[in-house]
Amino acid sequence: MKKIFQVDENNQLTRLSESEYLKEAVLQELIESHPELIPSTEINGDESKLILVKREMGIQDSEYGSNRWSIDHLFINSNGVPVLVEIKRSTDTRIRREVIGQIFDYAAHATSYWEIEKLTEEFSSDKQKMIELDLFIQKETPYEDHNQFWESVESNLRSGKIIMLIIADLIPKELKRIIEFLNEQLSPSEIYGIEIKQFKSEKIRTLVPTVIGSTSKAEIKKRVKSSTTPSMTEDEYLESLKISNPNHFTELNHFLDKLKSDFEIKYTGGFGGKANVYIVTDELKIGFLSIWKNGTIEFFFDQLFKKKSDSESLLQEVLVTINELVNSEVRGRRPHVSLGIFDNKEEFLSLNKSIAKIKEIATHNKL
């Protein structure tokens, strides 16, 4: 067993001996209360902060399935990257190899089936957590508002840009090498192990975190990958849209041309390429719509209809407009529909009119 020493102001020496955690829950509670125990500088290369979405975040095994598993902690960092945390004690036999399959299973299903609304609801349903999120976005992120933040989270989630963390009091050497090997191969996903050793005396407890997996080879590969990935231009987006939607591309193109005359549009690249549509007036600039290159149109009304006295009734008015258009029931603050349900130019024209009505409702009520 290793030991460390502490010297007080009177030059008195206290020996602290390495000690196991009595229960896995003790380490889980420490990470929940003190996410700064995760050394962000060694993982992200900067002082990226973390905000907790939920402990024991449920993960379903199909698009409409119920939760089958839960990840110990889900955080989001300052760059909008989801951070999945699985915690094990060294006495748990699954810490050897099984935990790798476990966290990859969670990651594969989370990136496929988590709707962004599932994450936002963890904050919107809790007033204190919403206050914490407001402060986090203002002070710790480069984003101007909630929409930009959640757009980044969603884009990262859909493109598989996530960080997986296996945290334990001891990472076995076999697992260390597996983590290092995987992190040298993976991109844009990343995986790390974090040892958090505990040293105790009668009155003092000291925690010492160490990152596993941040090898020089992995860092070089990720820097090269990041620096050579181009941003998406409008032409690149349209080309991707044409490949994914060959039967509706002409109508889609007309639809986008109409949007460009009424709204500001920005394009984001990568696997999750999309056109982001913003309402811009003298008083506001708010994103409320994304058109993914796979043909999914997603509305996000978190900021457009903030929680105030009349916002729910206005939101319901907008949802009625969308439901009449798609002849189906969509609900919530982030509904989405497939553009494949629109068969002709007239139906796309109706879609344009419905979007214009949303703008009219929002700007008229100065939301």
The answer to whether 84 and 74 have CB atoms below 8 angstroms apart is: yes
* Sign of the dihedral defined by the CA atoms of residues 332, 333, 338, 341, in that order: positive
- Residue 250 pLDDT grade (very low, low, confident, very high; cuts 50, 70, 90): confident
For 266, 349, 355, the CA distances from 255, given in Å and listed in that order, are 15, 7, 11
The predicted-structure confidence for 98-155, as pLDDT tens digits, reads as follows 899 999 999 999 998 898 888 998 998 888 999 999 999 999 998 888 888 998 898 8
Structural domain count, the chain: 2
Q: Are residues 164 and 215 in the same domain?
A: yes
Asked if the model's pLDDT at residue 284 lies above 50, the reply is: yes
Same domain, 68 and 177: yes
The alpha-helical segments, DSSP class H, found in the chain are 24-33, 40-44, 98-113, 116-124, 127-140, 146-158, 173-185, 216-228, 234-244, 249-262, 311-326, 345-364
Query: Can you give the pTM of this predicted structure?
Result: 0.65
User: What integer is the mean pLDDT of 60-65?
Assistant: 82
Q: Say yes or no: 162 and 239 in one domain.
A: no
Count of Cβ atoms closer than 10 Å to residue 327 Cβ: 7
Last residue of a domain, one of 207, 228, 249: 228
Domain boundary among 204, 228, 252: 228
- Return the higher-pLDDT residue of 46 and 346: 346
How does pLDDT run across 289-331, given as a tens digit for each residue?
Answer: 888 877 778 877 766 666 555 566 767 777 777 777 666 666 6
Q: Compute the average pLDDT of residues 44-56.
A: 85
Asked whether residue 359 falls in the same domain as residue 283, the answer is yes
Do 151 and 173 lie in one domain? The reply is yes
Which residues make Cβ contacts (< 8 Å) with residue 330, sequence separation at least 6? 319, 322, 323, 336, 337
Domain hosting residue 116, numbered range: 3-228
Lowest mean pLDDT among 21-25, 156-160, 176-180, 265-269: 265-269
State the DSSP string of 310-326: THHHHHHHHHHHHHHHH
How many percent of the chain have pLDDT more than 70? Answer: 83
Half-sphere exposure of 259 (CA within 13 A, CB side): 25
Q: Indicate if 303 and 343 belong to the same structural domain.
A: yes
In terms of domains, do 26 and 97 share one? yes
Identify whether residues 204 and 265 lie together within a single domain: no
Alpha carbon 307 to its chain centroid, in Å, reads 22
Same domain, 24 and 112: yes
Q: How many angstroms separate the CA atoms of 70 and 60, rounded? A: 9
Query: ω into residue 188 within 30 of 0, thus cis?
Result: yes
Query: Cα(254)–Cα(256) distance, rounded to whole angstroms?
Result: 5
Residue 275 has pLDDT above 70, yes or no: yes
Cβ atoms of 157 and 298 closer than 8 Å? no
- Within this chain, do residues 277 and 163 fall inside the same structural domain, yes or no? no
**Cα(148)–Cα(140) distance, rounded to whole angstroms?**
14
At residue 366, the pLDDT reads 52
HEC string for 162-231: CEEEEEECCCCHHHHHHHHHHHHHCCCCEEEEEEEEEEECCCCEEEEEEEECCCHHHHHHHHHHHHHCCC
Whether residues 244 and 214 share a domain: the answer is no
pLDDT score, position 80: 92
Q: Which of 228, 262, 285 is the last residue of a domain?
A: 228
Taking all residues of the chain, what is their mean pLDDT, rounded to a whole number? 82
pLDDT at 45 (0 to 100): 64
Instruction: Give tens-digit pLDDT for 215-237.
Output: 655 555 555 444 333 467 888 88
* Contact by Cβ (8 Å): 135, 143: no
Are 180 and 256 within one domain? no
| pLDDT for res 266 | 86
pLDDT at 367: 47
